[in-house]
């Protein structure tokens, strides 16, 4: 569908201009300068030629067909131009002009009209308020864009909502010398969307890695489908800015509370198989490795170095990223001992010394490539003045071409002096980095991708023992009463419908009722204050634990009445369950994506140290298990410092049941099970808070 957009045979520029500092001029000039192989048709009734190209008074006056027409005249003239393009049979419009949806109601209306009329004519629209597209393929060289970076042909394709960031990526890819295939910056994306472009890149054989930058998603579900489909085919490297509060302010904030801004995108990326980055530089440098190297089978790195210090720095960085630098086999060591200098270091890291010859480099490479306990190779290569560096580069390139295991290289040199050596490495497809850390991080990204691609995927379990009808009735009742917050009893009932274990709770307004409730539940009990405005009970002293008899319950209640003044104050009586581990499970609605499920272990760990993880619904068994294993305080659950472990299987099940509950009832806006107390053979919700939509 987008084939003609990215590979047009002809491009018209409506609003082409002779004025050097105008968009219409820049686009025409870019097409000429970049060597576009198709026909260039500047459209301007007042000029004869622009940038050496004959000019046409209107798009209708163009002799041949028009695959792509830029519209870079003021927004108010867009519709007229569009009509002419429609009549001409133009296939794609790139509307560079601003002044549409981003400016308010009138602009939005204009944009809607553009979409409507374009559909009428069967034209596709990129933008408005966008840069456009670029194709680096030598057979096309279409620079339908007003930026200034002229990339070489390569295997990385870029799609970015923000033109500024898109241009940054294009420039970085260009500076890294790895070449680009397609570029698109979508702006308002009224028609041609990021998911559609993603799919196009996914189907393009020459695209080996995709760079994706987003600031938000118009249709998250559509994005999710496309991302899942494409990420299954090739590496998609994704970044979304706005991860800090201040950063999120600058874009649209999607999530609230603990989930934090931008958090859902990270979860969305992981769930669909997109490799997530926080950093433009790191992402581009990773793209360089993805563009030429195979994916490692695991996280065990073999290092080859010709100088000591930088290998230590690389080791630090690799280990920080969770990679391992294991020892190598006796057999491998004996081969190295035979081939390298006597002073060389023959275990991992292998130090061939600054005087190491090309043959010795090759021997080290061969050993690591054949070593079963090594998944990838990191080379620290300084170009000493004592050896034949071109020969070394040739050996590295030869081994790289075999594509047995990925190679990255910290190439420490003065490039202008070592042009031939640099060219050999580049031609060999070796991703070369200026710093030990950047090379290490690129290898870490390849390894992280291997783990992501290999993650356990299962369809989510559908529990059939739930009472969906009763849950629906419970929620409906609250809704009909015009409330949004469920009472403790209602929340407990809801959980019970989905077989989520909850400590029985009874509400009492007075001491006599409370005593009776406690008698029924069985001592010891907990007495909690319950009122509409109380959120953090503990902080207000609103919880009295371990009441062992009726007197204790009455004492507790009078104490609570003294401390807390609320017109609707009532008391919740619940079984007291000492011991166990506190965990927290939450769910919050994530517009267009379902719900974001939260998990954390421990009270302070969650609230003070933020040791929580998130997953999007529906949560599968392996995903729930991965959530548990991803918190730092996981050892608290498996047994720590002599304390016994808890029933993690039960927690995994509760997470999945919560996922099913909120998926079945999108009207649930927020839900917090806090705490759930986990014991050796069970886990029980002590307090649940459920908020529904008005």
CB nearer its own copies, residue 476 or residue 538: 538
CA distance 460 to 33: 53
User: CA torsion angle for 663, 669, 674, 679 (degrees, to 10)?
Assistant: -10
CB nearer its own copies, residue 101 or residue 199: 101
CB nearer its own copies, residue 326 or residue 429: 326
Residue 325 CB, shortest distance to its own copies, in Å, is: 6
Residue 196 three-state SS? helix
Query: What token pair was written down for 530?
Result: 């319950």
- Is the Cβ–Cβ distance between 422 and 415 less than 8 Å? yes
User: Do β-strands 236-240 and 209-214 pair in parallel, antiparallel, or remain unpaired?
Assistant: parallel
Query: What token pair was written down for 683?
Result: 């886990």
Residue 132 CB, shortest distance to its own copies, in Å, is: 14
CB nearer its own copies, residue 337 or residue 510: 337
User: Torsions phi, psi of 157, nearest 5?
Assistant: -110, 145
CB nearer its own copies, residue 157 or residue 410: 410
CA distance 648 to 676: 12
CB nearer its own copies, residue 198 or residue 311: 311
Neighbours of 567 (CB within 10 A): 7
User: CA torsion angle for 354, 356, 358, 361 (degrees, to 10)?
Assistant: -100
CB nearer its own copies, residue 167 or residue 189: 167
Helices (H) and strands (E) in the chain, counts: 24, 29
Residue 76 CB, shortest distance to its own copies, in Å, is: 16
CB nearer its own copies, residue 216 or residue 524: 216
CA angle (300, 429, 346) in 5-degree steps: 40
Residue 631 CB, shortest distance to its own copies, in Å, is: 10
Residue 522 three-state SS? coil
CA distance 631 to 623: 13
- Dihedral angle sign, alpha carbons of residues 207, 209, 213, 216: positive
Residue 315 CB, shortest distance to its own copies, in Å, is: 4
Residue 410 CB, shortest distance to its own copies, in Å, is: 9
User: Torsions phi, psi of 680, nearest 5?
Assistant: -60, -40
CB nearer its own copies, residue 282 or residue 530: 282
Residue 307 CB, shortest distance to its own copies, in Å, is: 3
CB nearer its own copies, residue 313 or residue 485: 313
Residue 668 CB, shortest distance to its own copies, in Å, is: 26
CB nearer its own copies, residue 72 or residue 692: 72
CA atoms within 13 A on the CB side of 243: 12
- Dihedral angle sign, alpha carbons of residues 529, 533, 537, 542: negative
CA distances from 263 to 237, 243, 410, 443 (A): 16, 7, 32, 25
Residue 220 CB, shortest distance to its own copies, in Å, is: 19
CB nearer its own copies, residue 64 or residue 308: 308
Residue 347 CB, shortest distance to its own copies, in Å, is: 11
CA angle (657, 662, 664) in 5-degree steps: 90
Look at residues 602, 584, 595 and name the one whose alpha carbon lies nearest to residue 619. Answer: 595
In angstroms, the first-to-last Cα distance of the chain is 42
- Is the Cβ–Cβ distance between 443 and 375 less than 8 Å? no
Question: What is 212-261 written as a DSSP string?
Answer: EEES--SSHHHHHHHHHHHHTTS-EEEEE---SHHHHHHS-----GGG-T
CB nearer its own copies, residue 216 or residue 501: 216
Rg (CA), the chain: 31
Residue 441 CB, shortest distance to its own copies, in Å, is: 10
Residue ranges of E strands in 578-667? 581-590, 594-601, 612-616
CB nearer its own copies, residue 213 or residue 599: 213
Contacts of 38 (CB under 8 A, 6+ apart): 8, 9, 10, 11, 67, 140, 142
Residue 107 CB, shortest distance to its own copies, in Å, is: 12
Residue 466 CB, shortest distance to its own copies, in Å, is: 34
Residue 57 CB, shortest distance to its own copies, in Å, is: 25
CB nearer its own copies, residue 201 or residue 277: 277
Residue 72 CB, shortest distance to its own copies, in Å, is: 12
User: Torsions phi, psi of 495, nearest 5?
Assistant: -65, -40
């Amino acid at each position: 569908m987008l084939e003609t957009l990215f590979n047009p045979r002809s491009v018209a520029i409506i609003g082409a201009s002779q004025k050097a500092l105008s968009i219409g001029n820049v686009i025409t000039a870019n097409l000429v300068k970049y060597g576009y192989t198709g026909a260039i048709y500047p459209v301007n009734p007042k000029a004869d030629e622009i940038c050496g190209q004959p000019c046409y008074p209107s798009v209708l006056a163009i002799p041949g067909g028009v695959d792509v027409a830029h519209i870079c005249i003021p927004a108010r003239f867009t519709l007229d131009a569009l009509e002419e393009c429609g009549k001409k049979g133009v296939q794609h419009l790139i509307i560079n002009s601003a002044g549409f949806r981003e400016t308010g109601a009138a602009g939005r209306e204009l944009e809607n009209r553009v979409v409507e009329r374009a559909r009428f004519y069967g034209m596709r629209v990129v933008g408005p308020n966008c840069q456009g597209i670029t194709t680096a393929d030598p057979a096309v060289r279409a620079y339908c864009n007003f930026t200034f970076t002229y990339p070489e042909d390569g295997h990385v394709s870029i799609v970015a909502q923000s033109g500024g960031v898109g241009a940054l990526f294009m420039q970085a890819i260009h500076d890294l010398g790895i070449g680009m295939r397609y570029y698109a910056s979508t702006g308002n994306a009224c028609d041609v969307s990021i998911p559609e472009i993603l799919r196009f890149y996914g189907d393009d054989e020459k695209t080996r890695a995709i760079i994706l930058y987003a600031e938000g998603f118009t249709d998250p579900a559509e994005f999710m489908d496309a991302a899942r489909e494409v990420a299954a085919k090739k590496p998609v490297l994704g970044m979304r800015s706005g991860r800090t509060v201040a950063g999120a302010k600058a874009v649209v904030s999607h999530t609230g509370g603990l989930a934090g801004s931008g958090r859902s995108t990270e979860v969305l990326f992981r769930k669909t198989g997109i490799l997530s980055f926080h950093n433009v530089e790191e992402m581009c440098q990773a793209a360089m490795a993805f563009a030429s190297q195979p994916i490692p089978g695991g996280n065990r790195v073999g290092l080859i170095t010709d100088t000591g210090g930088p290998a230590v720095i690389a080791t630090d960085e690799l280990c920080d990223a969770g990679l391992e630098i294991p020892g190598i086999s006796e057999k491998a060591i004996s081969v190295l001992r035979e081939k390298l200098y006597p002073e060389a270091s023959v275990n991992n890291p292998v130090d061939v010394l600054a005087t190491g010859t090309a043959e010795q480099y090759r021997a080290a490479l061969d050993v690591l490539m054949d070593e079963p306990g090594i998944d990838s190779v990191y080379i620290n290569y300084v170009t000493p003045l004592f050896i034949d560096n071109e020969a070394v580069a040739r050996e590295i390139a030869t081994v790289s071409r075999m594509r047995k295991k990925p190679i990255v290289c910290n190439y420490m040199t003065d490039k202008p002096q070592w042009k031939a050596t640099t060219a050999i490495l580049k031609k060999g497809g070796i991703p070369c980095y200026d710093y030990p850390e950047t090379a290490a991080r690129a290898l870490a990204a390849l390894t992280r991708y291997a783990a992501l691609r290999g993650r356990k995927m299962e369809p989510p379990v559908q529990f059939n023992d739930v009472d969906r009808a009763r849950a629906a009735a419970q929620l409906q009742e609250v809704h009909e009463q015009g409330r949004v917050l469920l009472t403790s009893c209602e929340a407990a009932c809801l959980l019970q419908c989905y077989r989520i274990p909850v400590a029985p709770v009874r509400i009492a307004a007075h001491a006599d009722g409370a005593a009776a409730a406690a008698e029924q539940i069985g001592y010891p009990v907990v007495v909690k204050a319950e009122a509409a405005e109380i959120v953090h009970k503990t902080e207000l002293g609103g919880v009295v634990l371990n009441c062992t008899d009726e007197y204790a319950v009455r004492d507790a209640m009078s104490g609570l009445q003294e401390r807390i003044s609320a017109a609707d104050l009532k008391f919740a009586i619940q079984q007291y369950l000492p011991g166990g581990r506190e965990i927290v499970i939450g769910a919050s609605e994530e517009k267009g994506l379902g719900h974001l499920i939260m998990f954390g272990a421990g009270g302070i760990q969650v609230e003070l140290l933020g040791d929580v993880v998130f997953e999007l619904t529906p949560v599968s068994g392996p995903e729930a298990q991965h959530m548990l294993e991803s918190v730092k305080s996981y050892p608290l659950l498996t047994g720590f410092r002599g304390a016994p472990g808890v029933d993690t299987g039960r927690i995994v099940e509760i997470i999945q049941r919560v996922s099913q509950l909120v998926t079945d009832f999108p009207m649930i806006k927020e839900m917090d099970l806090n705490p759930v107390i986990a014991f050796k053979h069970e886990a029980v919700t002590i307090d649940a808070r459920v908020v529904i939509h008005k």
